[in-house]
A and B are shown apart, each in its own frame.
Chain A
Amino acid sequence: MTKISAKNVNVFYGSKQALFDVSLDIMDKEVTALIGPSGCGKSTFLRCLNRMNDVIDICKVEGSIKMDELELNSRKLDVVRLRENVGMVFQKPNPFPKTIYENVSYGPTIHGMAQSKSELDQIVEMSLKKAALWEEVKDRLDEIGTGLSGGQQQRLCIARAISVSPEVILMDEPCSALDPIATAQIEELIDDLKKEHTIVIVTHSMSQAARVSQKTGFFHLGKLIEFGDTEKIFKNPDNQQTQDYITGRFG
């Protein structure tokens, strides 16, 4: 089932066009990986899905992006509601400089998801468990989140993102600042999360895309060159550029 359907998306930064006519369908409860060389527009596309491009004044998005029946690229869209439903994990772990507990409880609190303290405690515990961090931090929830190791911080950010039970989680190179062990933990986690969430992940690592995703899109110079099943993209791509990229001939 299609969760998000993008049609002819063009993005401009001022007069510079960053995305050209991108159309792709993201399937529900699947991991979709977006790959491509730096500056190819994959992160820009990702940020269209939760309207984070709104932060940039000069950014202009054209085209249609539908999530279920909701048009995301509409002036009337309530971005606060959208972001409640579409969580995001960033490239560099960016926990709030507050306690571990406050980091995870922030979303449920501002969206009024918990009626009582115990309910909130439950949400925090659940989210941390899902993010495979609970065992490591359950005794020090009141410690500052920024004091954790890089990998733990990133899992804390994932816990924060899933605390509001979003349908979609966007990940923007979530492992690029982590060591291989932490990366492996996050990848395992992504595998678990896709049971309940639709995941879109931007990654520089082709092996990561191959390991975690079901669908892969290859971007180059702002264009979606090829999109399809991960296995096909990596084993037998239709496009020569894709072939060159995944075999390491450029990028």
Chain B
Amino acid sequence: MNEAKRKLLNKRYRAEANFKLFGQIAIGLALLFLAVFMYKIFSKGYTAFQKTWIVTEVHYDKELMLIETDNPSLEDLENADYYDIAYKAMTHLDPSLPEEDDRQLIQMVAFTYEQEVKNHLLKNPSLLGKIVPIRLTASDDLDQVHKGNYPRDIPEEDRRVNDYQLKIYDMLNERGDILSKFNLSFFTNPDSREAELAGIASSFMGTVFSILVCLAFSFPIAVLAAIYLEEFAPKNKFTDFIEVNINNLAAVPSIVFGLLGLGVLLAVFNLPRSTPLVGGITLSLMTLPTIIIAARASLKAVPPSIREAALAMGASNMQTTMHHTVPLSMPGTLSGTIIGLAQALGETAPLILIGMVAFVNTIPGTPVDPAASLPVQIYIWSESAERGFVEKVSACIMVLLGFLILMNLAAQIIRHKFERKWN
């Protein structure tokens, strides 16, 4: 081997080594971004899954509750007055506090404290007349203090928790009367203006209904369109034109579909605003081309030999398609559908346009009830000023990501388990 040849060879090896290095750097960077993103979300959000309670004592005093009968029924308990006993349950934490400053103690719990006391008694009616410990949801500010998210060293006038409240908090904490447990209400509560009460139930259900409506509208239409185009339509300029347009439709920005939903579904058809029905139909316009493209690709992947075998047996075109081609293409179609739905799941812009950004403090029971959706909930909460919502945003992102990962996993499993490898 002469000198020139050896040089050339070395150059080629070096080029390959460099190329590999650049590839590894690219992958490393991508992973780094992902890790930073995940770390930010998790480190900020995990505290949202903890909820803080203040443990205090409540005296179910019949007199204060204005109960006159000796043996009150549940209905009597339902109609009793809880304001005084609930108020006292908080104020007795510091009997030395002058009456006009009671508000300072009341502010330490969520404004629903009276309801919480009432629910507690209604669950255990035998407690009437007794003095029992009870846990009350701490206010979001105190919650943040307890989780260490709230700086205590800034000047008092800049703080939403004043020195007196901090003193009471420290006292309670020392006694072990500050309770921190899994925050179930984050999953069961609807949205609220109060961070300590806000949950994702309304937006989660909104998302579920939207996705179901989206599936119900887009899947049948898309699969029929794909089957027709792939198996029955003549191949000519017109079908080429349709194909180009379907591909274009897949590239249309989602906000345009939102405008379409606003202009057609709401303005012309007068469907109810802010509902998963409208949201789902709008999203189905987006998923439609995705599913058509996936379904056509998996129909194309069925080898012609199977079609020929069926046709040669005397099966009609329709029978060949329905008995053989479509069942064989279903795994690919389904995983494409799930991926399309997963995209729709993360959509925010079109939903904002059709009014699913409204503040909804009820859990929707049907697709025609007003609802938000998870990504919109993230958007709503991220606009809120209260510190308590910061962790909620991250927690909501975690739930959304979890949902997405589950769907993509399902798509992967369907693909690997049911998709046939043709040799």
Interface residues of A (CB under 8 A from B): 50, 52, 55, 57, 80-84, 87-88, 90, 92, 94-97, 106-107, 110-111, 157, 160-161, 164
Contact A96 B312 (CB under 8 A): no
Contact A83 B312 (CB under 8 A): yes
Contact A90 B305 (CB under 8 A): yes
- B420 CB, min distance to chain A CBs, angstroms: 6
Contact A96 B309 (CB under 8 A): yes
Residues of B contacting A160 in the complex (Cβ-Cβ under 8 angstroms): 309, 313
Contact B309 A94 (CB under 8 A): yes
Which of A50, A84, A88, A96 meets B306, CB within 8 Å?
A96
Asked whether any CB of chain A lies closer than 8 Å to the CB of B112, the reply is no
Question: At the interface, is chain B mostly helix, strand, loop or mixed?
Answer: helix
Contact A90 B314 (CB under 8 A): no
Rounded to whole angstroms, the CA-CA distance of A140 and B145 in the bound complex is: 70
Q: Which of B234, B306, B308, B316 has the most CB of A within 10 A?
A: B308
Contact A111 B314 (CB under 8 A): yes
Residues of A contacting B306 in the complex (Cβ-Cβ under 8 angstroms): 94, 96-97
Contact A83-B420, Cβ < 8 Å, known A94-B309, A97-B328: no
Rounded to whole angstroms, the CA-CA distance of A70 and B206 in the bound complex is: 64
Asked whether any CB of chain A lies closer than 8 Å to the CB of B7, the reply is no
Which residue of chain B lies nearest to A170 when distances are taken between CB atoms in the complex?
B312
- B313 CB, min distance to chain A CBs, angstroms: 5
Contact B315 A110 (CB under 8 A): yes
Rounded to whole angstroms, the CA-CA distance of A96 and B234 in the bound complex is: 26
B323-344 vs A, CB cutoff 8 Å, 1 = contact: the mask equals 1100010000000000000000
- A198 CB, min distance to chain B CBs, angstroms: 16
Rounded to whole angstroms, the CA-CA distance of A106 and B315 in the bound complex is: 9
Which of B305, B323, B420 meets A94, CB within 8 Å?
B305
Contact A110-B324, Cβ < 8 Å, known A94-B308, A96-B306: no
Interface residues of B (CB under 8 A from A): 234-235, 303, 305-316, 319, 323-324, 328, 420
Contact B235 A80 (CB under 8 A): no
Rounded to whole angstroms, the CA-CA distance of A82 and B324 in the bound complex is: 21
- B419 CB, min distance to chain A CBs, angstroms: 11
Which residue of chain B lies nearest to A107 when distances are taken between CB atoms in the complex?
B313
Which residue of chain A lies nearest to B235 when distances are taken between CB atoms in the complex?
A57
- A184 CB, min distance to chain B CBs, angstroms: 24
Rounded to whole angstroms, the CA-CA distance of A106 and B314 in the bound complex is: 10
Which residue of chain B lies nearest to A91 when distances are taken between CB atoms in the complex?
B305
Which of B305, B316, B324 meets A80, CB within 8 Å?
B316
Contact A55 B305 (CB under 8 A): no
Rounded to whole angstroms, the CA-CA distance of A90 and B308 in the bound complex is: 9
- A46 CB, min distance to chain B CBs, angstroms: 11
Contact A106-B313, Cβ < 8 Å, known A57-B234, A57-B235, A97-B328: yes
Residues of B contacting A84 in the complex (Cβ-Cβ under 8 angstroms): 314
Contact B311 A107 (CB under 8 A): no
Rounded to whole angstroms, the CA-CA distance of A157 and B420 in the bound complex is: 20
- B363 CB, min distance to chain A CBs, angstroms: 45
- A99 CB, min distance to chain B CBs, angstroms: 13
- B73 CB, min distance to chain A CBs, angstroms: 65
Residues of B contacting A88 in the complex (Cβ-Cβ under 8 angstroms): 308, 312
Contact B309 A92 (CB under 8 A): no
Contact B308 A83 (CB under 8 A): no
Residues of B contacting A83 in the complex (Cβ-Cβ under 8 angstroms): 311-314
Rounded to whole angstroms, the CA-CA distance of A83 and B315 in the bound complex is: 8
Rounded to whole angstroms, the CA-CA distance of A55 and B317 in the bound complex is: 10
Residues of A contacting B316 in the complex (Cβ-Cβ under 8 angstroms): 80
Contact A55 B314 (CB under 8 A): no
Query: Given contacts A88-B312, A160-B313, could you give 11 more A-B pairs where the C-beta distance is less than 8 Å?
Result: A80-B314, A81-B314, A82-B314, A90-B312, A96-B306, A106-B310, A110-B315, A157-B309, A160-B309, A164-B313, A164-B314
Residues of B contacting A95 in the complex (Cβ-Cβ under 8 angstroms): 309
Rounded to whole angstroms, the CA-CA distance of A156 and B324 in the bound complex is: 17
- B325 CB, min distance to chain A CBs, angstroms: 11
Contact A50 B234 (CB under 8 A): no
A-B pairs, top 8 by smallest CB distance, nearest first, are A83-B314, A94-B305, A88-B312, A84-B314, A107-B313, A94-B309, A80-B314, A80-B316
Residues of A contacting B308 in the complex (Cβ-Cβ under 8 angstroms): 52, 55, 88, 90, 94
Residues of B contacting A80 in the complex (Cβ-Cβ under 8 angstroms): 314-316
Contact A96 B324 (CB under 8 A): yes
Residues of B contacting A106 in the complex (Cβ-Cβ under 8 angstroms): 310, 313, 315, 323
Pairs A–B under 8 Å by Cβ, sample size 30: A52-B308, A52-B312, A55-B307, A55-B311, A57-B234, A57-B235, A80-B316, A81-B314, A83-B311, A83-B312, A83-B313, A84-B314, A87-B313, A88-B308, A90-B305, A90-B308, A90-B312, A94-B308, A96-B324, A97-B306, A97-B328, A97-B420, A106-B313, A106-B315, A107-B313, A107-B314, A110-B313, A110-B319, A160-B309, A161-B312
Rounded to whole angstroms, the CA-CA distance of A81 and B313 in the bound complex is: 10
Rounded to whole angstroms, the CA-CA distance of A160 and B234 in the bound complex is: 30
Which residue of chain A lies nearest to B324 when distances are taken between CB atoms in the complex?
A96
- A220 CB, min distance to chain B CBs, angstroms: 26
Residues of B contacting A50 in the complex (Cβ-Cβ under 8 angstroms): 312
Which of B234, B312, B323 meets A87, CB within 8 Å?
B312
Rounded to whole angstroms, the CA-CA distance of A82 and B316 in the bound complex is: 12
Rounded to whole angstroms, the CA-CA distance of A175 and B278 in the bound complex is: 59
Residues of A contacting B310 in the complex (Cβ-Cβ under 8 angstroms): 96, 106
Contact B315 A92 (CB under 8 A): no
- B21 CB, min distance to chain A CBs, angstroms: 44
Which residue of chain B lies nearest to A102 when distances are taken between CB atoms in the complex?
B323
- B311 CB, min distance to chain A CBs, angstroms: 7
Which residue of chain A lies nearest to B236 when distances are taken between CB atoms in the complex?
A57
Rounded to whole angstroms, the CA-CA distance of A50 and B235 in the bound complex is: 23
Rounded to whole angstroms, the CA-CA distance of A83 and B308 in the bound complex is: 11
Which residue of chain B lies nearest to A51 when distances are taken between CB atoms in the complex?
B311
Contact B313 A92 (CB under 8 A): no
Residues of A contacting B303 in the complex (Cβ-Cβ under 8 angstroms): 94
Contact A92-B305, Cβ < 8 Å, known A57-B235, A80-B316: yes
